[in-house]
Structure formats: C-alpha cells, structure tokens
Structure 1
C-alpha cells in the first residue's frame, strides 16, 4: 500500500483526515507547509509494520532479542517501495557487498527524496520555532531592543517587569511593540509639560554641568524663549564663567541681540549682592563655568550658588553624546555637591541630541535618578533648537536601532537601586494609569461618566443618594449631537439569575458601542412608551432586539420608517406561502447569502448566512426577512451552533443593513452575561452600593470591555496591554479579563485622585 497525502487548512484539520482514513495508529512520515495548507504524508500502522517485518535480518539475533535488526539499505528500500515514487522493480536482498546498479540508482533517488523530506521538516520546525519565539519571547525581544538602544539592563528589566500577556500574541507587530515601549518609557520619565510651569514658578535658574555641554548657548535659548513670552525687560543674564577666554563675549552678543542685561560678578559676595539688586526681575538665568565632575572646585562652585539663601533652581545640562557611565558619574557627583551645599538638584536639560547616536544612555540616567527633563537641545540655533519633551519625537529617536550598537552596559542590582526602581515604578505607573484613563475617556463615549459615578462611592450614604439622583437627572436630559446609530434593547424580562433587566445601550454608525447605559426601569412602563421616550432622546435609525418585537412595536417602527432586527429562536412561528411554520423548519428553502468572518466571544469565526422572505401572523402585509446563520470556529472548524433572526424589509439595501445588524448583535451578545459578572464583582467590592449605581457601572464597564475586545486600532491594542498588565496574573485579552482590569483601573485611579486631593489640601 502506498503512502497517502492529506492536505488541510491547518494541522488539526489535516490530522483529522488522517485519523478518518488510516485510523488512530497511523504512521506519520512527514509534515510540511504548502501553498494549499498543511500537507501530511502517512501510512496505516499495519502496512508499515508488515513492510519492516518482511525484511530479512543482516545480522544474527540473540534468542532474547525482541527487535529484529534491519540493514539501512533494506530499510531505505522498503520505505522507497511504500511511498511508490521510485522504481517499481522488487528490491532483492543483495547477494554481495555491491548492490545491483538498478538498486543503487533507486537508493540514490531515495537519498535525495529523504533529503528533501528532512529539509521540509526543518523548515516547518523553524517556522514553528519562530512562531513560538514570537509568542513567548516578546519580553526578551523588548529587552534586546532597549539594550541596543543604549539603555542599561537594570532599567530594561525594571521597565519590562510586568510585560502584558497581550504583547506575546500575533497582534503584537514591531510597530505596536515600539509604540508600547515608547509609552512605557514616557510614563517612567518625569517631564516638563508646560513652559509656563517653569517660568511662572521660578525666579532664578542656574545652569550647571561639565565643560562643553552647551550651557552658554542654552542660557541664550532660555532667555530668548522667555523674551518671546514676556518681553526683555523682565529677564537678566548672569555669567560666573571666569575660566574660559571669551566666555563673556559670547553671551554678551546673545544679550545684545535679545535686548537684555548681562552681569558678570566676581567672588561669591558679589554674586549675592548682585542677585539682591536683581530682585525686581521676574527671571534671572545664571551661566556657570563648566566643571568636570572630578574637579575639586565643584563643591566650591555649588556652595557659591547656594550661599545667597534665595530660592534658586539648579538645572543640570547633560550631554546626550556622552557614555552612560560618564553620565551616571556626572549626575551623582553634581547631586551630592548640591546636597552638601544645602541645595536641591531635581531638574535637567539634555543637550547635543543632534550629535548623539543613542539617546538611551541619557534617558536611562534621567529616569533612574528621577530628574525632571525640562528641555532637549537639538542644535546651535537660538531659540529654535530648544524643544519641550512633549513637542519632540525623542522617544521614537531613542528607540531607533537601525544602526547596530557596539557597546552595552552591565546591570546593577544593589538594594539602593532596587528601592529607587520601586519608587520610579510606582510614579511611572501612576502617570501611565492617568494617560490610560484619559485615552479611554477621549475614545469611548460615556467612559468619563463611569469615572464620575465611581468617584461618588466615597460619599456618605445620604450625600451619595443626592448626588446620584443629580447625575441621573442630567443624563436623562442628554441627547447626542447627531441622530444616528443603533439601539441595543435587552430582554423585556430580568436577566437569568438576576433581579434586574439589561439596560439600553447605543451604537454609533461606525459600530462603536457607547459606555453610557440607560436604565430601563427609569423609563416609562411598556415597550411602546419606552420606544417613544428613547426616540425623543436618541433618534436612532435602527433598533436591535433580543427577541421578536410585538406587532404594535413593529407597526410603530415601520410607520416612522425605522429598521429593526430581532434575535429569535427556531421555534418562532412565521407565515410562509400561506402556512404557519416554525422558523427552524424553513432553512432548506432559504437562499444562500455567503459567509462573513467576525470575532465572536474572543475567537475568530465564520458565519454562513441564508435568508427567506416571510411574514408574521396578524401582520401579513408587512414583508419580513428571516435569517439563518451557522457559526464555525475558524481554527478548528468546530460548529458553534445556529442562530435565527427576523428583520423588516427584503430590498437589497435592507438586506445589507440587516447583515450589519445581526453581526453587530452577535458580537455584543455576551453583554448580559458580562454585565452580570460586573454586578457580582461590584457586590464584592462595595456590598452597600445602591443597586442602580451598581447596574449602571456594571453595564457601562461591560460595554467598555467589549468595545476594547473588538477594536483593532493601535490605541485599543495599547489600552488592552496596559489594562491586562494591572491584573496580578496573566490573562488573555477576553472581555471578562478586560472587565476585571477596568475595575482595577477605576479603583487605583480613585485612590490616586484622593491622594492628590489630600496632598493639595495639606500644602501650605
């Protein structure tokens, strides 16, 4: 019997074919990827055993041997005979050491065939290994990326300590990984967000740093930026650089161009008196002489600056083109000197960014020491080449590894560094959570209202009820800016196992679900009054029901030219060709409408659709369309069941809208279950929370989780990765996992907000 080949869309499908044809004990000869799918070559077990058993032994066996030795030549010949691709002549046992020429030719062809099979197998293994590396080695890849960008291993390990599970999935493209990494670095970096924050809260700035880092040019740039905002009369320049020949002249030229005063004091006493004379200036910028971190006069210089007793802000200028170890020593030495002089050194500016091949070492140093990065200097032009971090693409530049790195840093694991890393991690996580909160508020309609409701939970019970009522009053008067989209109606009866009915949710024309639920028990009683109540607030053009709507609802919708679709059971009775029949018996009469691919309950599925014109008893003049759908898993081919719908209209345009409706309803059909999950979690978190608030939050969070699960945009990918990183254990990006992580986000965000409020209220 010859070997048989089986081709399937994936390995599981191909193996199923093997089992059906050859049984569970089939012998797999090869497996490889082809243009048509996965190809498996296999033999039935009895065929392979018989082929080997029929071969004579080339060596004597001992009585106790349980296996029959077979020569390599005969084994190869038997294999060649089975696969049926070589000579059909019988392969004889060789009579001498040299086989017949005909057999030798067969053996050579077999060798080539075996070589090809091995090569195919190697390629398949390599592809699987590469896929495994992609799935399981994302963290290692990101660490290598950071190291090549010039970051230290210590900080790289710290930043990637809790890498989200989602970054190991197939959606984690290099561009998305880089964006996630840039966002992670951004959250770790303390940056000046607004220039006014610096100029309005600081009167004296002293630029310090080693020789040649660009302090004088930076002094001119800062003065120019201030003059552009407030004019030249309120700023003065001071230089204490008496070491470099011509240093005063360079700054004097800048001062003349800007129209500001330049002062050149001598000893420390003269600096103190000069600063006292300049008390009427809103900003004084001091250019200090460059001083090596190993210069013994450094402490004297910093003492001179700190002896005035005035509120003076030291700003360290560090060279982006310096080696990481040099930068580490510079920052550590200057901060120690500032502390010894009774000053603080918390601000920095990175210069010569245009000369640096790698920005990683400079950013690494700034992050680890917790310095605030105020500016980046990218050239010699005044003031154009001074940028705020928010207006720069420095993080993308820092992660650019198009040029290979020749140097790497050694990791440091001291206890002090571990504690510093812990503090930075907490601060960075707070900034990352704030950014994530703002992103969700900007992208998802209604998420900001969820934050507002969550913040009410800390109020006393009486005040809580009052503020909740005020919130509902405002929301019930709310109407969208433009009337469009669809309304998702829940079942008329309470959700199974619950005492509440599913709130009403809205979807815009882009298929985006809003996280702003409408509590149905606060609407008028009765389906028809509720429909009118909703139309006055959200005039949606299509309505999606979890059951078949009543005849009066159908008449009202058709009277207002509004489309609708209802999910029904196979036992739904409809009129077809004048007879009343169950919908489940009519699938054989339906017309095929093709296949749609969609994401359903966290898996990719194929939906086979067909449709049939029907009517309802009692409304025979209203043309309806019955839809029949069968779901199959894309990967395994497993059937996931059948679905049935009724919708209004049979025109081509109506059919197109109905398909969009039923797909939308399918992708959101886990809303009730997910809302129940949110209800249970909220009960554990806050058992005394009023039921209305609990339902509002549960439905809104469920809607947000489903929106994030189905969104394929880059922002949603980043949001999912950040959210799942909040959970104590790795979770797949299913809606339930995202729901739990949203609860973590709201809890931590509320705690951080309360801490900020407390700190603000206690500050003098």
Structure 2
C-alpha cells in the first residue's frame, strides 16, 4: 500500500519528513496527536492519480517520457547493443488498488483542519511547539531595544528560505536586514578632505563640546592644525568657552566664541581659508521653544553668495529611551528643515553607557539618519570611532538577558492611529525598496542600465528613439558591468522567438554562470556567425561562448585560434560519427560513460543532472565530445527531460564544461521569460514604444528574474523576499513571479520618486 505514516516530535518535524519522502505535492490524508508526537498519513500525488484513475487494460501500451532508441548494434568497434527501454519501464513498482471509501469520511472531516495545519506551519521552522522562528526573531529584536514599528516591518514578509533555516542562519538574515537599512558614513577621508562647516546640535549634556574636540583631533592627525577652526556659541553653560579653548590649545588650532544669538555670517567669511570649521552649539531640550530660532541662526549665513552652507550633525544619546530619542529627532529635524536643509547626519554618544543599542539604531533607520561617528568615552581623540553598520547591529543584537521593558507582542493600533500607521508603513516600504534596489545595483552588472532605460518607457516615442543609441552603446554599457567581470556570452538562436518578430538577444554571464542585466540585441550585431564571434572578442573579450547549435567550420577555427572555449546545444536528431558510422545523438546515450551527478535550477525546480560523455566526430573531421544529460526533480525523482551538448575534447576543462552546461540549463526559459516581459511592458505602457527600447528592457528584466531565481547567495534571498512580497498574497517562487515582482518594484520606485518630487 502506498499510504505512508510519518511521526514527528512537532507538526513541522512531521511535515518535513513528508516533503522529504513524497515532495511538496503530497496528499495529506490525516493528522493527529499521538503519544510519540504528531502523526501524519500521506500519499504521493502521482500514486493518488493512479489509484483513482480507471484501471488500464492489459494491452494498454506503457507511456514513456522519451522515445526509446532503436535496438541493435551500431557496427564495429565493440559498442554494446542499446538497452530495450520496454523492459526497464515494465520493471517499475506497480500501484496496489486502495479502497478510499474507508478513508472518505475521515478525509473530508479533516481537510479543513489540514489546510489550517499547513497554513500555520508555513512559517514554523524547527523549535518548540508554538514557538516559531519568527516569534523568536521578534523577541530577540524587542530584547535588543528595537521598537514595534520597525520589528513589524522587518518580519512582515520573511523569505521562504527561512522555513528550513537554522537559528544561526535566521539571526544572520535578521542582521543583514538591519544593516541594509542603516546608513553610515562610508568615506571619512572624503569627508575630512572636502571639509566644510559643521554644526553639532543636540540636547544639553549630550557631549557636543567633547565630540567637537574629538572631530578636530581626527582632522589634525590627518592634515595638521592650520586648516581647522572651532567656533562655540554656548554662552549659557559656565566654563563652556574655556573648555573648548583648552582643547584647541592642546591641538594647536584656532577657536572663536560667539553669543548664542549672534550672526555667524561675518565670522564664517573671515574663516573662509579654513578647510574645516566645527561649531559647538548651545545645548537645548527638544521641548525648549527657543530651539527653532537657534537652529534658524545656523541656517542664516548671510555672508555672501560664496558662503559655505552649514551642515547640521545631530548628537544622539545612545542611552536614552526610545520615546525620548523619537521626540529629539522629530523636533530637530523639523527645525532643521525650517532652516533650509535636513539634518546632514548623526553622531552616537554615550554608547559606553547604553545597555542596549536597539532603540537608537531603530530611530536612525526609521528617520533615515546617516550615522557618522560613535562616541564611547571622554578621551580625546581615542574614544571616537567611525560608525560601522555591521558592528553596531551585532552589538545591538548581542544584548544579554531580557529587557524589563520589552513587550511580548505588538499592540494593534487604534482607529485613531490608522492614518499615522499607514504613513509609517509607507516609509517602511520605502526603506525596504531602497535596500532592495541597492542590493540589485551592487550585485548585478547592468541593473543600473535597466534603471536608466526603465523611465524612458513613459517618454514620447521620438524621445525614446533619441535616447536608445546611448543605451545600446557598447562602452556605455560596459561601464555598468564593472562590479563583476563578463565571463561568457549566452547566445540565442538566430530565428525569432515563437510569436515574436525578434530574435533572443545574447546575454552576458558572470564567472559563476549567472546572468547579468546586459543583453546584446541580435539585430545590432554582425550578420555572420564568425563575424559575431569576432565582434564579441574585439568588444567584450569573453572567455566562453554558450552556443545554441554547433558552430560551423569557420567559426570553430576562429574560436580555436583565439583560444576561446565553447559549448553548443545539440538536438536529439543531430548526426555525429561514432564507431565509424553516422548516428543521431539520441541513439548514443546508452553508450556514453557516466561523468558526474550535479545539482541545478531548471525552470523553477531544484533538479539533478546526470551527465555522461562519448567521443564523436563531425563530417569535416572535427573531433568532439558529445555530452548527454538526464534531468530529474531533486525531491520527487521525476524525470524532466534529456539534453545533449557538443564541445571540444578538452579533459583539462571538463569541470568548467559541466559548469557551463548547468548555466545553459538554468537559462533554458530565458527566451520565454523575455517574451513575457515584452508583453507585460507593452501592455502597461500608455504610449507607443520603440521596439529596441522595449526589447532591451524586457531582456534585462528577464535576466534579473532568472538570476534571482537561481542565485543562492544571502543577498538574493533578501531581495527575493521583498520582490515576492510586493506581489501580495502567497505565491510560489518562480522566475515568472520574480519577473512580475521586479516590474512592481520598478513601478513603486517611480511612485516614490514622484511623491518625493512633489
């Protein structure tokens, strides 16, 4: 009988056993609690189909996924006869009929319970019953001091990969989400070299005077004391001027004192020869009604048209309560905007006194403040360091013990708070969008080019045509691919894609065999096969060519002379010479030597590729290797197809050749994906589209979607989670779904930019 019983300590454990044994499409017959834990009775989907279908007659032929090669000898050379596939197929396991009437009442009664179980387990990795991984991450964030709003934003749509992740992998994912949202100063040298006028602002007692001295010291250590001057406007605090004068004397730099309400313009004009001017302002509570006026004084630099703007750096006490920090940032930001510009950034102080950093990092993330420095003591200049996002996040998440003020679960907003919650939700979406786009720009060569081309879809047709030549210019395109080298070209077939009037563009691949967002439009390339390859060598210099068919004699000679490797797709009926006779590739598979078992991603499925190889020749005497690949699903073992390749005989490159086959299989659906993108872009456009622009955007979108589906790196998991989230609902990961999500992401980017501009 094909019904199987699985028992796990928890529901999640039992479900994992079901998936491992029967695949995601298994039919669950029942679930119940037993003394050993949770029992699930399940049946493979294909078994269910055979059991419930009418019994075939004895004479019914056996279905085969592929035609069997004709039996018989291939002639001399000692090659054995082909195996008779009929005998192999007939030896499979036969299903035993099952009376499902006995199960019907129980199944119908529990089907709804089953759906509830599956839904509840969708985000429950291994752990104590009722203690989900998302729950544990939420509590970790609360214990670190992060607030409800940011926690909800981070954990709203966790990636599906977390379903089977360990706690360590989940913690690493969480740290990446925080790091990607936290802005820090990436180039201190550039900041100090460029100089400017900086005003340190913030509440009383936050450490502005000491931080002023520390910043000046960092400049002096780099450039000497001649190019820096200090200014203090703090006339309220007893001894404030004298404290700064002592620091200035020790550093050998100038210091100037002004009354709090005195204009800065004249003094800054006299200090125009100083590369760096740091202003130590008077400390004011965020509730002091004079604060707006004081900040406005820092915006009034009426010393001439060439007067340098004053950049305001807000100091934040890392040991303060989150609500206090929220009020400080909100008040100072509004005052700074009223003075003509937003806050330039922030500096964290008293980090050595803070038991938890979650609150201050939460504030910086949600308000989009760029952290420049971290102050962690009174020593000048030792106790000031650059803000490093990963180190800060790890320090925050490693807070020991439970906070007495941490909550167990987020509180739902009241009706009066819905508009405010909506606006904050939009800000959260904006942060997630910015992080996703930053990842795509950093990791995928050519994505910036796609972003450049995307807005043109809304331009009038004449403007589109005027901009396309610049977009397809080779030098311009290669400038967008400098973050990862162009290793190979994946060539499309010369004939048009089914249903379209264009041929599939060539697509650039990186060293890992993944697509870059850099398609090369076929109709703009030289016409002949050898000429196209020569163009690629001269303009792009790829090490590999993945070809749709075996190259001709001239092309092979050129590839050989230039030292470029190649791999070509073969067809089942492609004729080659083996053992002195001509045969179709489909008839030679059984004679090939097994070489490797590899894993790959094929049309949205995790698959297994069994490779074998046979020495063959062509009519012109060329000696090649014929490669044979059998594809099957990793989880179910179901066969997906047979594939063939031809490649030069090169044992030294065998591993690289097999890697190229995996890459070519991974992009097997790229033409269909490009066709889908072409249609979606066309249907969404309100204006006529230039065909070259439309194809360039469509092929780039398809390449990025394919890359995201195949890439296993952490950054891709993070991007996939957001891209799939913008689709809404729950959809299985696939290149098609990712394509739709990418279009939504780019559309959302345009919407945020439009609102920002308005």
TM over 0.5: yes
Residue 423 of structure 1, CA deviation? 4.4
SS at the partner of 1:514? strand
CA distance in 2, matches of 1:428, 1:127: 24
SS at the partner of 1:525? coil
Residue 329 of structure 1, CA deviation? 6.2
The answer to whether the 8 A contact 1:724-1:731 is kept is yes
What residue in structure 1 maps to residue 707 of structure 2? 707
What residue in structure 1 maps to residue 642 of structure 2? 642
Counterpart check, 1:399 vs 2:394: no
- Aligned with 1:505 (options 507, 510, 517): 507
Counting only pairs closer than 5 Å after superposition, residues 138-157 of structure 1 correspond to structure 2 as: 138-157=133-152
What residue in structure 2 maps to residue 353 of structure 1? 351
Residue 383 of structure 1, CA deviation? 3.2
The answer to whether the 8 A contact 1:490-1:545 is kept is yes
CA distance in 2, matches of 1:319, 1:159: 24
What residue in structure 2 maps to residue 383 of structure 1? 381
Per-residue CA deviation, residues 332-351 of structure 1 (Å, 9 max, x unaligned), is 78889x69x99999575431
Per-residue CA deviation, residues 155-182 of structure 1 (Å, 9 max, x unaligned), is 3224444x24445343686456545555
Counterpart check, 1:605 vs 2:598: no
CA distance in 1, matches of 2:166, 2:316: 35
Counterpart check, 1:278 vs 2:267: yes
CA distance in 1, matches of 2:298, 2:644: 82
CA distance in 1, matches of 2:298, 2:472: 58
The answer to whether the 8 A contact 2:614-2:625 is kept is yes
Which moved further from structure 2: 396-405 or 420-429? 420-429
Aligned alpha-carbon RMSD (Å): 5.0
CA separation of 1:215/1:418 partners in 2, compared to 1, >3 Å: closer, same or farther?
farther
CA distance in 2, matches of 1:753, 1:456: 15
What residue in structure 1 maps to residue 164 of structure 2? 170
The answer to whether the 8 A contact 2:449-2:471 is kept is no
SS at the partner of 1:516? strand
The answer to whether the 8 A contact 2:295-2:339 is kept is no
The answer to whether the 8 A contact 1:32-1:39 is kept is no
Residue 530 of structure 1, CA deviation? 3.2
CA distance in 1, matches of 2:122, 2:731: 26
The answer to whether the 8 A contact 1:165-1:721 is kept is yes
What residue in structure 2 maps to residue 320 of structure 1? 318
Runs of 5+ in structure 1 lacking a partner? 41-125, 760-764
CA distance in 2, matches of 1:185, 1:484: 29
Counterpart check, 1:221 vs 2:221: no
What residue in structure 1 maps to residue 661 of structure 2? 662
CA distance in 1, matches of 2:228, 2:290: 29
The answer to whether the 8 A contact 2:22-2:636 is kept is no
Runs of 5+ in structure 2 lacking a partner? 8-15, 44-120, 302-309
CA distance in 2, matches of 1:641, 1:531: 30
SS at the partner of 1:728? coil
What residue in structure 1 maps to residue 581 of structure 2? 579
SS at the partner of 2:146? coil
Residue 537 of structure 1, CA deviation? 3.0
CA distance in 1, matches of 2:476, 2:318: 55
Counterpart check, 1:743 vs 2:743: yes
CA distance in 1, matches of 2:647, 2:339: 77
Residue 428 of structure 1, CA deviation? 5.5
Count of aligned pairs between the two proteins: 646
The answer to whether the 8 A contact 2:608-2:631 is kept is yes
CA distance in 2, matches of 1:658, 1:307: 68
The answer to whether the 8 A contact 2:374-2:384 is kept is yes
CA distance in 2, matches of 1:604, 1:134: 29
What residue in structure 2 maps to residue 88 of structure 1? none
The answer to whether the 8 A contact 1:152-1:411 is kept is no
CA distance in 1, matches of 2:42, 2:415: 55
The answer to whether the 8 A contact 1:486-1:544 is kept is yes
Counterpart check, 1:672 vs 2:671: yes
CA distance in 1, matches of 2:511, 2:698: 24
What is the TM-score when the length of structure 2 is the normalising length? 0.71
The answer to whether the 8 A contact 1:191-1:389 is kept is yes
CA separation of 1:734/1:194 partners in 2, compared to 1, >3 Å: closer, same or farther?
farther
Residue 147 of structure 1, CA deviation? 0.4
Counterpart check, 1:131 vs 2:126: yes
CA distance in 1, matches of 2:184, 2:586: 63
SS at the partner of 1:707? helix
Residue 517 of structure 1, CA deviation? 1.6
SS at the partner of 2:630? strand
CA separation of 1:243/1:534 partners in 2, compared to 1, >3 Å: closer, same or farther?
closer
CA separation of 1:253/1:135 partners in 2, compared to 1, >3 Å: closer, same or farther?
same
Residue 358 of structure 1, CA deviation? 0.6
Which moved further from structure 2: 524-533 or 684-693? 524-533
Residue 475 of structure 1, CA deviation? 5.3
CA distance in 1, matches of 2:295, 2:691: 62
Which moved further from structure 2: 302-311 or 151-160? 302-311
What residue in structure 2 maps to residue 519 of structure 1? 521
Which moved further from structure 2: 670-679 or 192-201? 192-201
Per-residue CA deviation, residues 656-678 of structure 1 (Å, 9 max, x unaligned), is 44323322221221111111121
CA separation of 1:354/1:644 partners in 2, compared to 1, >3 Å: closer, same or farther?
same
CA distance in 1, matches of 2:143, 2:364: 18
What residue in structure 2 maps to residue 622 of structure 1? 622
The answer to whether the 8 A contact 2:122-2:163 is kept is no
What residue in structure 1 maps to residue 452 of structure 2? 452
SS at the partner of 1:216? helix
Residue 411 of structure 1, CA deviation? 4.9
CA distance in 2, matches of 1:361, 1:476: 44
CA distance in 1, matches of 2:428, 2:33: 53
CA distance in 1, matches of 2:427, 2:237: 41
Which moved further from structure 2: 255-264 or 409-418? 409-418
SS at the partner of 2:351? coil
CA distance in 1, matches of 2:721, 2:563: 43
What residue in structure 1 maps to residue 232 of structure 2? 238
Per-residue CA deviation, residues 425-459 of structure 1 (Å, 9 max, x unaligned), is 54555455445434433433333332332243344
CA distance in 2, matches of 1:692, 1:332: 48
What is the TM-score when the length of structure 1 is the normalising length? 0.70
CA distance in 2, matches of 1:607, 1:358: 50
CA distance in 2, matches of 1:673, 1:518: 17
Which moved further from structure 2: 185-194 or 511-520? 185-194
The answer to whether the 8 A contact 2:490-2:507 is kept is yes
CA separation of 1:31/1:673 partners in 2, compared to 1, >3 Å: closer, same or farther?
farther
CA separation of 1:169/1:680 partners in 2, compared to 1, >3 Å: closer, same or farther?
farther
Counting only pairs closer than 5 Å after superposition, residues 27-426 of structure 1 correspond to structure 2 as: 130-131=125-126, 137-161=132-156, 163-166=157-160, 168-170=162-164, 174-175=168-169, 177-184=171-178, 187=181, 205=199, 207-211=201-205, 213-224=206-217, 231=225, 235-238=229-232, 240=234, 249-260=242-253, 271-273=260-262, 278=267, 280-281=270-271, 283=277, 285-288=279-282, 298-299=288-289, 310=300, 317-327=315-325, 349-366=347-364, 373=371, 375-389=373-387, 393-408=391-406, 411=411, 413=413, 419=419, 422-423=422-423, 425-426=425-426
Residue 543 of structure 1, CA deviation? 3.1
What residue in structure 2 maps to residue 464 of structure 1? 464
CA separation of 1:401/1:473 partners in 2, compared to 1, >3 Å: closer, same or farther?
same
Residue 149 of structure 1, CA deviation? 0.9
CA separation of 1:733/1:384 partners in 2, compared to 1, >3 Å: closer, same or farther?
farther
Which moved further from structure 2: 462-471 or 234-243? 234-243
Residue 502 of structure 1, CA deviation? 1.2
SS at the partner of 2:613? strand
CA distance in 2, matches of 1:128, 1:439: 25
CA distance in 1, matches of 2:508, 2:591: 34
